[in-house]
Structure 1
Amino acid sequence: MSLLIILGLFLILILIRIPIAFAMLIVAAIYLVGADISLKLLAQKVAGGVDSFSLLAVPLFLLAGFLMNTMGITDRIFAFAGAVVRHIPGGLGHVNVFASVIFAGMSGSIIADAGGLGTVEIKAMRQAGYRDRFSAAITAASALIGPIIPPSIIMVIYAFVTEVSLGRLFVAGIVPGLLMAGSMMLLIYFLAKTNREHCPVLPRATFKEVVTTFYGAILPILAPIILVAGIMSGIFTPTEAGVVAVLYVLVIGVFLLKFRLEHIIDATAEAARATSATLFIIASAAIFTWIVSTANIPQAFSELVSNWVSTQFGVFLVIIASVLVLGMVMEGIPILIVFGPIFLTIATNVGIDPIHLGIVFIMTMMIGGITPPVGITLYVVMAIARVSLPDFMRSIWPFYFAILAVIFLIALFPSLCLWLPNLAFG
């Protein structure tokens, strides 16, 4: 059976809202039957698709994020962020972004950020007089920082697919993540100063309040420093960092909060649901990726791009444009697994570092999370803020340009993401 027919069927299944994992399994089964290949290969590829030690980090970082939410650690993070930046024009908009930066250093999950920290952020912004649609836009955009600043679940999957160093990838995301936060805060400041958005400014926190909230949030703030330092020094691997993150959150819960067994039960249940969905997509994509690779699509696409583009930035433009379009119809993980090897082939042909590619690829892919009609983060935040899609889109579009500006900056200047891992690992 023609591969074009298979890809067309796959697109149709996605458009009629068949879950992405089932769509890949259906077209893979049809292709194997049409090619007279035993369906045993389907079972073998699916089972082998998640047979990797590095993927153990996925449920661990998810669990750390959900534990932070159920134990109330997110409230302490938000309180400290508010004490530091709430008086700047833009007020709680800056607090929203700053809190996401801190939260990202422990979770690495966009859903944990949007669903947990986002609930706290939107409630506070509503009480302060912000419009719900603007609060939702900032919350959704700032949640994208989570997968960029280490640790990051999506980076674990990228390293698994492309076989690059996860430690280097983690460290490479620090500066781009901070640049994303900076671009969003500049945008919020501009919107506030020009009265394009109603941004009530809260009074400057007293020194006592800053110290008090800092004391309550000191352990969560230290988490990213401990994790990154441990990875860079070789004390533990990036996968083992997931265990450290979970244990660290539990220690915070025992010593700082009213720790209850229900916290672990609820967080474990949430993490189990998110992990099963994530790994099922990864497993299903294994056979689909095999079909794409055996049909020599990566090589054919690479040759096509090479005939038209010969510069590194030109290749990045092709990849960024492709990922933005794919993000409208596919979730991030399937895009990464299916198209990651294809883009890697194209990038290496023009000398692009795989780590540099990974940062640009992941940052672009995250935009799909807030792009209709597929963006999961989009619908999570809309449900929390109780806003309609048209209202949400009216406030979110400036953040697209702020994020894209950082992506193009990283693409043009590789040292922004490579100098730190080169300094740390040589």
Structure 2
Amino acid sequence: MISLTMLVISVALFLVRVPVSISLGIATLVGFLMIGLPATVIPSRMIDGVDGFALLAVPFFILAGNLMNAGGVTERIFAFARAVVGWISGGLAQVNIVASIIFAGMSGSALADLAGLGAVEMRAMKKNGYPVGFSAAVTLSSCTIGPLIPPSIILVIYGLATNTSIGQLFLGGVVAGLVVAAALMIFVYAYVRISGVEWAKPEPFVFSKVVDTAIHGAPALLAPVIILGSLVLGVTTPSELGAIATAYALLVGLLYRQITWRRLYEALVNTVVMTSVIMYLFAIATAMNFVIARERVAHHAAELMSSYITSPFVGILLVNLFLLVVGMFLEGPVAILIIAPILLTVVQELGMGPVQFGVMLSFNLLIGMITPPMGIGLFVGAKVAGTTPENVLKASLPFFVPLIAGLLIISFVPGVTTWLPGLVFSR
């Protein structure tokens, strides 16, 4: 009853446009008062929530992504991807997707991909005659790959919220990200071939251009290799991996001589602002989850699910539908901190492990990020493309087909998320 009251208060405040941070704070205060604890207990619970070494990964990964954008990395990634896959039907649309795969190994944020690499991609597509709506739709869809492939801020938050190995989550997201990318590339190929549009013609393949862009972009292209290699070899922890990614991003920016004092200052300010928001949400959600845990909501939800649903397939399908709806209204970190501990107990009763659920949950919320009414990705994508969110949404609707297909594969094929973690951690 208390947990339901907290939820109702939060949603009601969201609907009247009260900031998320204030809404959760008020709901948590009401919950503590209802269970008879003084409000003075809330700060101690909040401090306990952010008092962890693993949380250092969050600001480091955010800073690494900002430095990558400031250091001229995005242009070189796009040039290399264009030389490698520009010859496939779909042309620059395929390049867009592959570039997002490469950039995903450097930045843990979908919005960093959308605002940084997306600007380069859409500018090139517009120059080559691609419609603005289609360009924005491809960019918006491909940016969801970023937080699946390590490093990933959203997977770090899930791991800390559910006490799941962040290393296993990172490795579990690698194959899942490639599956989603393959689904998008196949869809673009089929769309272009069936519609026969003139503007999506492939470019000639020139091997010397591949070599040239690889040499010029080698420092940037090596970043995913260094980051993922350090994780697979067990050389670093996720927190240390964030520091390595940041140092390497700064080194690459200095090497390309594109990081100025102004850009560095802006990257640091953006990092501090974003980190502050995430840390506060993590702290207040920890206090809120203290109340939820006392009521044993996760246990009762699991019992209720097992009583009415006997088929794991149906159960997981319903969880996915619920998460898609949640993602339309709540930002990823907020949704994870509130519902992940509860739903993890539910899906474990259905036979799903914490790593598979973490990747599935994260991708659900990423799809929600580009879905109205609250999808921030739509507004960022529209701003970068220089059009309206309505136009971007209209053009993006067909791309939900490959995204949902990728989600279903992640949800019902456990090996996609468990094979690589099992292979590495068994050693």
Q: Distance in 2 between matches of 1:196 and 1:334?
A: 42
State the partner residue of 1:351.
Answer: 351
1:114 matches 2:132 = no
State the partner residue of 1:363.
Answer: 363
- Show CA shifts across 1:118-149 (max 9, x none): 11111111111111111111111111101101
State the partner residue of 1:221.
Answer: 221
The one-letter code of the counterpart of 1:150 is P
State the partner residue of 2:70.
Answer: 70
Q: Distance in 1 between matches of 2:137 and 2:196?
A: 14
Q: Distance in 1 between matches of 2:202 and 2:352?
A: 46
**CA separation of 1:7 and 1:196: change in aligned 2, threshold 3 A:** farther
Q: Distance in 1 between matches of 2:364 and 2:279?
A: 22
Contact 2:70/2:259, CA 8 A, preserved across alignment: no
**CA separation of 1:196 and 1:20: change in aligned 2, threshold 3 A:** farther
- Show CA shifts across 1:177-235 (max 9, x none): 01111111111111211227664325324333221111122222222222222122221
Contact 1:85/1:91, CA 8 A, preserved across alignment: yes
**CA separation of 1:51 and 1:197: change in aligned 2, threshold 3 A:** farther
1:234 matches 2:234 = yes
Q: Distance in 2 between matches of 1:277 and 1:80?
A: 35
**CA separation of 1:391 and 1:243: change in aligned 2, threshold 3 A:** same
The one-letter code of the counterpart of 1:168 is Q
Contact 1:192/1:199, CA 8 A, preserved across alignment: no
1:11 matches 2:11 = yes
State the partner residue of 2:181.
Answer: 181
Q: Distance in 1 between matches of 2:394 and 2:126?
A: 18
Contact 2:126/2:135, CA 8 A, preserved across alignment: yes
Cα deviation, residue 237, structure 1: 0.8
Q: Distance in 2 between matches of 1:224 and 1:314?
A: 37
The one-letter code of the counterpart of 2:175 is V
State the partner residue of 2:128.
Answer: 128
- Show CA shifts across 1:65-108 (max 9, x none): 11111111101101111111222221111111111100000111
Q: Distance in 2 between matches of 1:227 and 1:147?
A: 14
Contact 1:356/1:417, CA 8 A, preserved across alignment: yes
Q: Distance in 2 between matches of 1:4 and 1:361?
A: 22
- Show CA shifts across 1:282-318 (max 9, x none): 1221222222222222122111111122343333212
Unaligned runs of 5+ in 1: none
Q: Secondary structure at the match of 1:68?
A: helix
- TM-score, normalised with respect to structure 1: 0.95
**CA separation of 1:233 and 1:26: change in aligned 2, threshold 3 A:** same
| Bigger shift: residues 126-135 or 197-206 | 197-206
- Show CA shifts across 1:161-183 (max 9, x none): 11111111111111110111111
The one-letter code of the counterpart of 2:42 is L
State the partner residue of 2:314.
Answer: 314
Cα deviation, residue 402, structure 1: 0.8
Contact 2:71/2:252, CA 8 A, preserved across alignment: no
Q: Distance in 2 between matches of 1:106 and 1:112?
A: 10
- Show CA shifts across 1:324-348 (max 9, x none): 1111211111111111111111122
Q: Distance in 2 between matches of 1:220 and 1:309?
A: 49
Name the count of aligned residue pairs. Answer: 426
Identical positions, percent: 36
Contact 2:115/2:381, CA 8 A, preserved across alignment: yes
Contact 1:144/1:367, CA 8 A, preserved across alignment: yes
Q: Secondary structure at the match of 2:18?
A: coil
Q: Distance in 2 between matches of 1:255 and 1:272?
A: 25
Matches within 5 A, 1:12-411: 12-195=12-195, 199-201=199-201, 203-411=203-411
Contact 1:149/1:170, CA 8 A, preserved across alignment: yes
Cα deviation, residue 37, structure 1: 2.0
Contact 2:111/2:377, CA 8 A, preserved across alignment: yes
| Bigger shift: residues 238-247 or 352-361 | 352-361
Q: Distance in 2 between matches of 1:45 and 1:425?
A: 33
Contact 1:130/1:198, CA 8 A, preserved across alignment: no
Cα deviation, residue 389, structure 1: 2.8
- TM-score, normalised with respect to structure 2: 0.95
Contact 1:22/1:284, CA 8 A, preserved across alignment: no
| Bigger shift: residues 347-356 or 363-372 | 347-356
Cα deviation, residue 63, structure 1: 0.7
Q: Distance in 2 between matches of 1:107 and 1:304?
A: 39
Contact 1:319/1:361, CA 8 A, preserved across alignment: no
Contact 1:64/1:245, CA 8 A, preserved across alignment: yes
Q: Distance in 1 between matches of 2:197 and 2:240?
A: 44
